[in-house]
Amino acid sequence: MSLGQRIADLRKKGKVSQSDLGKKIGTSGDIIGRYERDEVTPSIEVASKIADELGTTLDYLMGKMEFELDKSIVKRVIDIQSLPEEDKKHILYTLDGLLQNVRTKLAFAK
């Protein structure tokens, strides 16, 4: 999927018009349309603004990742990274247990 297709897809999923997205990042809806048709490529700065407005990462928007990351999860990961090592270990241990519990429930639900 191209950069333009990703912009269009995310914009439509978020029910945002080209005009509204353009206003939010300081450009016009016409320019957003040109980005979506891959006629023009936005600068990294503009692409970053678009990603922020559409609630995604620049890596996903630029095609470096094939799946979209949930920004609320990314924020939590960043928060965890700033903690002391011992606290990180406790959180990750707890998270591993919760994930295993969910996987087990899903396996038995089949």
Domains contained in the chain, CATH given = 3-61 (1.10.260.40), 71-109 (no CATH)
Query: What gap in Å lies between CA 37 and CA 86, rounded to an integer?
Result: 49
Is the pLDDT assigned to residue 71 strictly greater than 80?
A: no
Q: Which residue has the higher pLDDT, 24 or 75?
A: 24
| pTM for the whole structure | 0.67
Residue whose structure tokens are 């509204």: 20
Longest dimension (CA), the chain: 52
In eight-state DSSP terms, residue 41 is -
- Segment 31-55, tens digit of pLDDT: 999 999 999 999 999 999 999 999 8
Is the pLDDT assigned to residue 95 strictly greater than 80?
A: yes
